[in-house]
Structure 1
Amino acid sequence: MGKKIEKREKKESNEDECRSNPEKPSVSAEEYQCSGILDQDFTELCTRLGFMEIPKVIPRARPPGTPASDRNMFEESDYPSDKECLSGAGPRDRYSYFRPNIRVELEGEDGRSVREVSIRGWKIDEKMMGVFSKCLPALPNLHHINLWNVGLTDATFSSLVTILQRCPSLKVLSLEGNSLPDQSYHRLISDDLGLVHISLRNNQINDNGARLIGQALRGLKVTSKNLATLVLSYNHITDLGAGHIAQALRFNRSLLTLNLSSNRIGDQGALALAEVLGRFALTHPEIVERRRLLLEKEAQDHPRSPTTSRHADTKNERPLSHRSGSAMEKPEKSPGQKAKPSVTKKKDPQKKEDKTNVSQVATGPSTVAAQPGPAKKEDAKTAKKQTAKTEEKNTRGKAVKSATKRAPEHEQVEASEVTNPLLEQAEFRDGNVYLPGNKVLISLNLSRNGVTEEGLQGFLKAMKTQAVEAKPASAARTHTGLLRLSLGKNRFLAESPTFAQIQEIMLLREPIHQSSRSSLDEQVM
């Protein structure tokens, strides 16, 4: 009996020592080299850091239809049955299902092929985030991270952003049910992160958070094509926040899908979003920036803009036959000076009269007096005109040759570079400068908000504009415009004629409907 009491006291003393000295095992945890197997690395790091209860790493079941031969890689005993949960029978008690765990999805049978990591319903503190900072970047195939209701704070969120920067293969991040006081979700939208899909549902994002997200979207480079989907549903965004996001969509050419459902957006926010889908007028700062970009582009396309150097070069590059004509522009010779022989030795009967005039100018004052004045002025004018035409032909020919030589390089630059939205083809009307609008966004969800008939009118106008610009004449354009628009369950009648017109336009623009209609036409033919 006494031995059992001593063992129990010894065990309790070791546990108290681990709790009182958490820094002691952390030194060895920093020296640990991860192998890329999440189950092994996570358990080892938690043990070295002194965790009393270590969450289990459980492979997540594949969707139905998985071959039976591939199911042996999942431990089915980790998923308790309904009888075990209710009666407590089996190797675990009824609450084992609700204990902290990490669900992973593997691409193959290898433990290093972790594709998705999902954590739900238990708090991740700074100590646990330190474990993830070592084992998550060691996963070469990590593509998706799902954190639902894990109690993130501003400090742990900063640590998470640092971890994401060290995961180059990560493309999808689902961060839902985590309210941050500083509303710093915009840090996920950056050129430093290669995230393609970001879900921020149910995070109590307000207008200030929407403003920061809009600034991050505007801050993305024009050449950035990473972020494609942004989900902001079930938040507290109003008309003001929707206006900030619409301001970002004016020149953002990366986002393809935007979900703003189940927010507090009314007509003003809906009109701001609809405006950027059609042609919109530029503000004064945007016009100034557009002019600056146009000047820079012109300077790059035509680096030799000064006229003096161009005229000097063309004068030196004249052929000899045209340089001889400049003798008529020289001052007359003095009487005692000998006449120089003519440079031109061609005997053309059609130019015989011109040769006699030139020889008379070169002989001396007696011949000059015999030649009438008006004839001399006319010859000089015609010679100048011929010289100017020849110079223009030569410069044009050289410009064409240089353009043909640089054509392949110019085509490669256009294929690799992306045009700034401010440099798109503009329309000048009523003293304003109008741009075509955002044709990259293909899906917008505004269902379950406060949009009324007024907001529907704005979207109907924008969809008509996009439908006209997307006719077969302009089918060669890369960007097609909005293909899906969700406006259901708002504050307008379901029998609204405006809503019916929008649905008709969107039905014609839907790719599935177009493909089915084309296949039906082929069957009829």
Structure 2
Amino acid sequence: MSPITDNITRGASALDTSSKKTERLFTSKGREKDYGKGKDNDPASAQDPSAPLVEGTETKPLQVVYEPFTQNRVKEVAVRGWIVDRPVLEALQKCFVVAEKLTTLILVDCGLKGSDMILLSDVIPRIPNLEFLALDGNFISEQNHGLVLSKSSTLRSLTIRFANLNDKALQNLSSSWKTYSREWSPDQPGLEYLDLSRNKITDGDTAIQPVPDYTIPGG
């Protein structure tokens, strides 16, 4: 199961499919190309062209889901178990900010650092339709994962599992949450799902405090 789909109801995603080698992809002309034979096949025997296309598989470090026959068509990007150093992250962020259809970003076990979280905190708010973000498995000594939440108003789901988070990280998340909750609006209802499981957070005084109910002016 994808780390961002626990308890979340959304449309079927190619990222959630079983691991199968991708040998056939639609070309820009709408025909299926068999990369094993190097030939274009009969469109009648091709898969549904309205279905999202996927490059890579669950077992590969980089996977992209995109819509066929449209511009700015990348919908989901998943990087798993692949060390993303600063030059790579800077290159990716230039792509993210122009991906108007990007809704899902998965950066799992990528060796992200505290400085990378600062960069992501500036990039993520500029991705206009990003709703699902997974940062599982990134051990960051600065414990500043919460930066990605402080400036983003479109996220609906955030998972930071198996990331060695401690009470300091929870304090940072709590501070970011307070800033984030002030930006609530009916058009952007904000975070609906937060998963911090499999970390080292205690039951002490650092627990996240409930956010006061938001009253809509004139409501």
With normalisation by structure 1, the TM-score equals 0.30
Secondary structure (helix, strand or coil) at the match of 2:206 reads: helix
Give, in angstroms, the shift of residue 197 of structure 1.
Answer: 0.9
CA–CA distance in 1 between the matches of 2:199 and 2:212?
22
1:230 corresponds in structure 2 to: 194
Q: 1:252 to 1:105 in 2, by over 3 A?
A: farther
Matched-pair contact (CA < 8 Å) for 1:217–1:252: no
1:168 corresponds in structure 2 to: 128
Give, in angstroms, the shift of residue 151 of structure 1.
Answer: 0.5
CA–CA distance in 2 between the matches of 1:176 and 1:102?
15
CA–CA distance in 2 between the matches of 1:223 and 1:159?
21
Q: 1:252 to 1:198 in 2, by over 3 A?
A: farther
Secondary structure (helix, strand or coil) at the match of 2:121 reads: helix
Give the AA of the match of 1:245.
A
Structure 1, unpaired ranges of 5+: 1-58, 80-96, 255-411, 416-525
Matched-pair contact (CA < 8 Å) for 1:137–1:166: yes
Give, in angstroms, the shift of residue 74 of structure 1.
Answer: 5.1
CA–CA distance in 2 between the matches of 1:108 and 1:191?
31
Matched-pair contact (CA < 8 Å) for 1:172–1:196: yes
Q: 1:220 to 1:63 in 2, by over 3 A?
A: closer
Q: 1:75 to 1:130 in 2, by over 3 A?
A: closer
Matched-pair contact (CA < 8 Å) for 1:164–1:193: no
Which of residues 89, 96, 107 in structure 1 aligns to 2:67? 107
Q: Indicate yes or no: 2:113 matched with 1:142.
A: no
Matched-pair contact (CA < 8 Å) for 1:60–1:103: no
Give the AA of the match of 1:244.
T
2:47 corresponds in structure 1 to: 69
CA–CA distance in 2 between the matches of 1:62 and 1:184?
29
1:313-324 correspondence runs (5 A): none
Matched-pair contact (CA < 8 Å) for 1:177–1:202: yes
CA–CA distance in 2 between the matches of 1:220 and 1:75?
33
Give, in angstroms, the shift of residue 192 of structure 1.
Answer: 4.3
CA–CA distance in 2 between the matches of 1:166 and 1:209?
24
With normalisation by structure 2, the TM-score equals 0.68
Give, in angstroms, the shift of residue 218 of structure 1.
Answer: 3.0
Matched-pair contact (CA < 8 Å) for 2:136–2:162: yes
Q: 1:183 to 1:140 in 2, by over 3 A?
A: same
CA–CA distance in 1 between the matches of 2:54 and 2:65?
13
Q: 1:60 to 1:109 in 2, by over 3 A?
A: farther
Matched-pair contact (CA < 8 Å) for 1:222–1:253: no
CA–CA distance in 2 between the matches of 1:156 and 1:234?
22
CA–CA distance in 2 between the matches of 1:223 and 1:127?
32
Give the AA of the match of 2:206.
H
- How many residues matched? 174
Q: Indicate yes or no: 2:213 matched with 1:414.
A: no
Matched-pair contact (CA < 8 Å) for 2:162–2:199: yes
Give, in angstroms, the shift of residue 102 of structure 1.
Answer: 2.3
1:245 corresponds in structure 2 to: 207
Give, in angstroms, the shift of residue 245 of structure 1.
Answer: 2.7
Give, in angstroms, the shift of residue 252 of structure 1.
Answer: 3.8
Higher helix content, 1 or 2: 1
Higher strand content, 1 or 2: 2
Give, in angstroms, the shift of residue 105 of structure 1.
Answer: 1.4
Q: Indicate yes or no: 2:112 matched with 1:152.
A: yes
Matched-pair contact (CA < 8 Å) for 2:152–2:180: no
1:203 corresponds in structure 2 to: 163
* Residues 338-382 of structure 1, C-alpha deviations (whole Å, 9 max, x = no match): xxxxxxxxxxxxxxxxxxxxxxxxxxxxxxxxxxxxxxxxxxxxx
Structure 2, unpaired ranges of 5+: 1-12, 19-44
Q: 1:173 to 1:214 in 2, by over 3 A?
A: same
Q: 1:118 to 1:252 in 2, by over 3 A?
A: farther
Give the AA of the match of 1:227.
L
Give the AA of the match of 1:69.
Q
Matched-pair contact (CA < 8 Å) for 2:97–2:127: yes
* Residues 62-108 of structure 1, C-alpha deviations (whole Å, 9 max, x = no match): 748xx9522798589x66xxxxxxxxxxxxxxxxx65xx52111234
Give the greater-gyration-radius structure (CA).
1
